[in-house]
């Protein structure tokens, strides 16, 4: 006569003697089937994405802030220079103020282009780390 053992409910995780199918790609999913955010944040794909974001954001921010602070300081302390007429009633101050708007538009367009070329493909790689089989179907 054999003794019945109580059934124990355990999460489905591959162990020593399991014969489960191997995943199609390396998913970073925890035992509950949810994305393992800690593992994703330390993955090479995620770190590469962070590097690519910083590679654009930091220089663009520094250049724009330098340009903007120069404009503000010249407006506050170099009134004679800023009021120098360029043509008609348009002076250096008005021109520099208009160029602030132009610079903002240029940086926005450059970021959109950079994002489409460099960031979006890397974001897709990071998302693929957490896709479940239901999301792939």
pLDDT of residue 40: 81
Task: Of 62-66, 115-119, 121-125, give the lowest mean pLDDT range.
Answer: 121-125
Q: Identify the burial level of 28 via C-beta atoms within 10 angstroms of its C-beta, where 0-12 means exposed, 13-18 middle and 19 or more buried.
A: buried
Across the chain, what does the average pLDDT equal? 80
Residue 30: pLDDT band (50, 70, 90) is low
- CA-to-CA distance for 46 and 54, rounded, in angstroms? 13
**Residue 131 pLDDT greater than 90, yes or no:** no
Residue where the block lists tokens 């004679």: 80
φ/ψ bin of 69: left (φ > 0), alpha (ψ from -120 to 50), beta (otherwise): alpha
pLDDT of residue 113: 95
pLDDT, average across residues 113-119: 93
Residue 129: pLDDT band (50, 70, 90) is confident
């Amino acid at each position: 006569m054999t003794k019945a053992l109580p059934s124990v409910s355990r999460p489905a995780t591959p162990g020593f003697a399991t014969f489960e199918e191997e995943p199609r790609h390396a998913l970073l999913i925890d035992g509950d089937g949810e994305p393992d955010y800690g593992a994703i944040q330390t993955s090479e794909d995620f770190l590469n994405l962070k590097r690519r974001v910083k590679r654009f954001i930091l220089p663009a921010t520094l250049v724009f802030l330098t340009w903007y602070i120069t404009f503000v300081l010249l407006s506050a302390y170099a009134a004679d220079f800023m009021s120098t007429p360029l043509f008609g009633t348009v002076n250096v101050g008005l021109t520099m103020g208009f160029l602030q708007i132009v610079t903002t538009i240029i940086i926005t367009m450059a970021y959109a282009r950079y994002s489409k070329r460099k960031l979006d493909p890397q974001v897709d790689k990071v998302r693929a780390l957490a896709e479940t089989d239901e999301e792939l179907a």
